[in-house]
């Protein structure tokens, strides 16, 4: 498989997992959503074809568009809660103290919903910046952040609640 085919397949499975409530895990419907997102980014996609170094920029734009679409989907469903935390929203967002504060805000907002989704985006680029070398310390910090978020979410969610934790 060539690199663009692999990227398309990765995006398809990403959309299928992210929009499982909409698609029912139907890859055809997930493909339709993926194509709609790609259509909205057609100009950037064209630039990426001409300049392959823009691939990371395209992926970030694709993920942001998918997150906005998911947020719009949940906004129309008051019975289900949704909170999106972007680890790159500020320079300090991904640090443990600020991450805890921002995640606790989201978990408090989701506490009143029986079903909810917590979407965490850009944690990997925040802790493992693509322009910097991946060191053992950075990798360990990233893995600890993942475990911390999972543990915090599990500890602060009622056992009867159905909370989906998605990392993007």
34 and 69 inside one domain = yes
What does the CA dihedral 127, 133, 139, 141 come to, rounded to 10 degrees? -40
pLDDT band at 1 (very low <50, low <70, confident <90, very high): very low
165 and 114 inside one domain = yes
* Nearest CA-CA partner of 95 in 163, 18, 59, 149: 149
Structure-token match 């543990």, residue found: 151
71 and 84 inside one domain = no
In terms of residue numbers, what domain contains 83? Answer: 79-168
Domain finish residue from 76, 97, 113: 76
Amino acid 143: pLDDT: 94
95 and 35 inside one domain = no
55 and 1 inside one domain = yes
Split into its structural domains, the chain has a count of 2
> Across-strand partners of 157?
none
64 and 129 inside one domain = no
109 and 140 inside one domain = yes
Name 37's Cβ contacts closer than 8 Å, sequence gap at least 6: 15, 62, 65, 66, 69
pLDDT tens-digit readout, 106-143:
999 999 988 888 989 888 888 888 788 989 999 999 99
pLDDT tens-digit readout, 142-163:
999 999 999 999 999 999 999 9
Structure-token match 């920029």, residue found: 57
Mean of all residue pLDDT scores within the chain: 86
122 and 145 inside one domain = yes
95 and 168 inside one domain = yes
Which pTM was predicted? 0.76
Tell me what the mean pLDDT of segment 62-86 comes to: 84
22 and 90 inside one domain = no
57 and 13 inside one domain = yes
63 and 86 inside one domain = no
Domain finish residue from 41, 76, 111: 76
Domain finish residue from 52, 76, 100: 76
Amino acid 3: pLDDT: 52
pLDDT tens-digit readout, 81-112:
889 888 887 777 778 778 899 999 999 999 99
> Across-strand partners of 137?
none
pLDDT band at 77 (very low <50, low <70, confident <90, very high): confident
């Amino acid at each position: 498989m060539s690199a663009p085919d692999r990227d398309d397949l990765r995006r398809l499975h990403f959309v299928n997992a992210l929009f499982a409530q909409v698609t029912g895990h139907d890859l055809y419907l997930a493909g339709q959503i993926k194509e709609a997102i790609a259509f909205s980014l057609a100009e950037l996609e064209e630039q990426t074809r001409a300049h392959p170094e823009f691939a990371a920029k395209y992926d970030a734009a694709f993920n942001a568009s998918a997150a906005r679409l998911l947020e719009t989907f949940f906004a129309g469903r008051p019975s289900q809660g949704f909170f999106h935390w972007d680890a790159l929203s500020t320079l300090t967002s991904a640090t443990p103290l600020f991450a805890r504060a921002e995640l606790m805000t989201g978990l408090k907002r989701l506490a009143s919903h029986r079903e909810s989704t917590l979407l965490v985006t850009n944690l990997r680029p925040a802790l493992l910046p693509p322009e910097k070398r991946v060191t053992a310390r950075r990798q360990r910090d990233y893995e600890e952040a993942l475990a911390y978020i999972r543990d915090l979410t599990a500890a602060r969610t009622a056992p009867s609640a159905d909370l989906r934790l998605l990392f993007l």
